[in-house]
Structure 1
Amino acid sequence: MRIILSSAPLRTLTHKVVAPVLSGLVLCLATVDAAGQDGSAAPAESTPEHLVGDGNFEIGPDYSTDPDLTDQGNPKGKSFEFKMPLAESKIFRGDDSTLDPKKKVRVARRIFVYIPAAYEDGTEAPVLVVHDGPARFDLVRNALDNLTISQDTKRQLPPFIAVAVENGGDDSYGSQRGLEYDTMSDRLARFIDEEVLPAVVEHPDVLAAYPNIAITDDPDGRAVMGCSSGGAAALTMGWFRPDLFRRLITYSGTFVDQQDSDAAEEADFPLGAWEYHSGQKLIENSDKKPLRIFTHVSENDLRNQDPADTYHNWVMANYRTAEALAAKGYDYRFVFSKGTRHCDKKVFKQTLADTLVWAWQGYR
């Protein structure tokens, strides 16, 4: 059985009802009967049922790995890895005045690139940027190997180039990672567009294998994926620069107040990413943007018992974000995973193929 939340508006959560987070929501139950239509129980399956369509979904508490995220022996693409020294960046040099000197900053960040076998040199490829590289890059590679050649037209992926970008170091307030991911600005979008993607297509090793490689400038062909603050960063990249990135994937998104209090952006967005759904309610109060947005939160995600006035309840933040996206009429999908924790790998292993297929839906 799969439980699907109805399209009715999500109830705003308070800290008193976060624990049984679905207790007050309207649910409709869809029973999947593999044996027929007689209402008998479906036989146990070793693989999860695919999630299809927009809206709100609940999964778990039992999980398994989607075969499309495993190595099935299909033709492999080519992998590359190189480093980008922070000191050579014009945007994230590692010397920002908001950084805590006690928190380490990387000298150089690693860039991981995977070009699938289905990519044809000389074509303008779509691209997926993955934050906190090489996080979950193994699953992305397997999805590309399997689904770019899928015979199921409803379950195909375009041969996008995957680029996993390592963060600048450390975490939370005063860190380089926090500066890159939790700041409400277009800086990260510009960094990826102006520095990282050109470095990929100009790298000697990449050019040796693909002399005519190109990445599309079409924002509809550019996706971003991340977890935690990397998830918030994915939304922020699209929100501030929908002319650059429009397909956004966020797991356990940090839509809470993680922005440095001394950041220049604090004057405009004092509650950081909490402003998307609460405070200024940016999603509700802004014109609808041309974005396709996947969001997820775990039942036992970070600070799930905190009251709203802490601005730090991940479950509350993600429910409110989904509610705002639904009310505004966005193309969105929201997944609530039972019995799981922050950025839980078993959620990725069950859902990432479905998420990628959904995220790229409508791309030509």
Structure 2
Amino acid sequence: MPFAPLPPDQDGVRYLHGPDSSRRAGVPEGSVVEHTWTDSAVFPGTTRRYWVHVPAPYDPRRPAALMVFQDGDGFLDPDDEMRAATVLDNLVDDGAVPVTISVFVEPGTAPAGSSRNAEYDAFDDRYARLLADEIIPEVRKRWAVTDDHDQWGIGGFSSGGSCAFTAAWLRPDLFGRVLGFSSSFPQVASGTSVPELVAGESRPPLRVFLQVGRRDLGWDEPRDNWFAENLRVAAALAEAGHDVRLVIGDGGHDANHAGVLLPDALRWLWRTPLGDRAAL
């Protein structure tokens, strides 16, 4: 590829998707089933949609791994940046990730509007309980999901990314693999400093893939700086002995770079069992 200098302000930078983000000849297409959940005890009065992606090689006699994504509609949209169903079909076909039931969950809506920020930015276990006690049991009524939580992961973009981290941090018995794109760590409620939290509290080893743009929100500000806070979280995780990878891109708070990275992020996330520290 010929050299092309970046613009000095790094605005408008775009990355090109690789072959794993497009349908490949000979790769069987998985199915996507839509559901609506209206009976939440954790977030009463909310309605939310979620989708379940089932890869073609799924065999109910062999319980599958599990991956949960926040802002599910955006991750599934084949014309947007993530194209997650296509990516998962390609990676499962390659053997790069296990056969995985993936659940794409939308934030709840109530008469007052979306509860996205109330759910995603909170620092408590309510969202993890929504998944563990309500959404995932509904999924397991129809599809066989492994009981081995080494094979459960969670991910998201922006507040969905920090929500994924919160769920795994508070419930490591559920999720040990975390994917956070442009995670909104500065926006986590209750004055929670995620780097200080990681440094001050012991947890079972997590595997965390983080991505952030050099011109993400507040990139040149002393506070509420998405770029700086993601660096701090990654450093705290590394110092605490967790398995962490941080990828820094150009551009701002958008999903382009994250979507291009999604195939390799999932490869890295699933590359070995969580207990295998020899590969770190």
DSSP-derived class of the 2:211 partner = strand
Residue 180 of structure 2 corresponds to which residue in structure 1? 250
Matches within 5 A, 1:108-123: 108-123=47-62
Unaligned residue ranges in structure 1 (runs of 5+) = 1-42, 46-59, 95-106, 208-212, 260-265
Q: Following the alignment from structure 1 to structure 2, what is the Cα–Cα distance between the partners of residues 169 and 79?
A: 22
Bigger drift between 157-166 and 283-292 goes to: 283-292
Residue 134 of structure 2 corresponds to which residue in structure 1? 195
Residue 79 of structure 1 corresponds to which residue in structure 2? 32
Give the drift of 1:61. 5.2
Q: Following the alignment from structure 2 to structure 1, what is the Cα–Cα distance between the partners of residues 267 and 178?
A: 12
Residue 65 of structure 2 corresponds to which residue in structure 1? 126
Percent identity reads 36
Q: Following the alignment from structure 1 to structure 2, what is the Cα–Cα distance between the partners of residues 329 and 167?
A: 32
The equivalent position to 2:90 in structure 1, one of 146, 151, 157, is 146
The equivalent position to 2:240 in structure 1, one of 314, 328, 351, is 328
The equivalent position to 1:217 in structure 2, one of 147, 150, 167, is 147
Q: CA RMSD in A?
A: 2.2
Change (3 A) 1:306 1:169: farther
Q: Following the alignment from structure 1 to structure 2, what is the Cα–Cα distance between the partners of residues 146 and 133?
A: 19
* Partner AA of 1:318 in structure 2: N
Q: Following the alignment from structure 1 to structure 2, what is the Cα–Cα distance between the partners of residues 62 and 187?
A: 36
Residue pair 1:217, 1:244 contacting (<8 A) in 2 also: no
* Partner AA of 2:243 in structure 1: D
Residue 166 of structure 1 corresponds to which residue in structure 2? 106
Q: Following the alignment from structure 1 to structure 2, what is the Cα–Cα distance between the partners of residues 287 and 190?
A: 21
Q: Indicate whether 1:356 and 2:266 are aligned.
A: yes
Question: For 1:323-364, what per-residue CA distance to the aligned partner results, in whole angstroms no more than 9, with x for missing partners?
Answer: 1112222101101111x121x232133211000000111149
Q: Following the alignment from structure 1 to structure 2, what is the Cα–Cα distance between the partners of residues 286 and 84?
A: 34
Q: Following the alignment from structure 2 to structure 1, what is the Cα–Cα distance between the partners of residues 256 and 62?
A: 35
Give the drift of 1:305. 2.1
Q: Indicate whether 1:240 and 2:170 are aligned.
A: yes
Q: Indicate whether 1:92 and 2:10 are aligned.
A: no
Q: Following the alignment from structure 1 to structure 2, what is the Cα–Cα distance between the partners of residues 145 and 122?
A: 19
Instruction: Report how many aligned residue pairs link the two structures.
Output: 258
Residue pair 1:66, 1:349 contacting (<8 A) in 2 also: no
More helix by share: 2
Residue 314 of structure 1 corresponds to which residue in structure 2? 226
Give the TM-score of the pair, scaled to structure 2: 0.86
The equivalent position to 1:276 in structure 2, one of 171, 194, 212, is 194
Q: Following the alignment from structure 2 to structure 1, what is the Cα–Cα distance between the partners of residues 205 and 235?
A: 18
Residue pair 1:135, 1:164 contacting (<8 A) in 2 also: no
Task: Give the greater-gyration-radius structure (CA).
Answer: 1
Q: Following the alignment from structure 1 to structure 2, what is the Cα–Cα distance between the partners of residues 349 and 184?
A: 26
Give the drift of 1:119. 1.2
Residue pair 1:61, 1:337 contacting (<8 A) in 2 also: no
Q: Indicate whether 1:294 and 2:209 are aligned.
A: yes
Q: Following the alignment from structure 2 to structure 1, what is the Cα–Cα distance between the partners of residues 161 and 60?
A: 31
DSSP-derived class of the 1:141 partner = helix
Q: After the TM superposition, list the runs of 4 or more consecutive aligned residues in structure 1 that deviate by more than 3 angstroms.
A: none
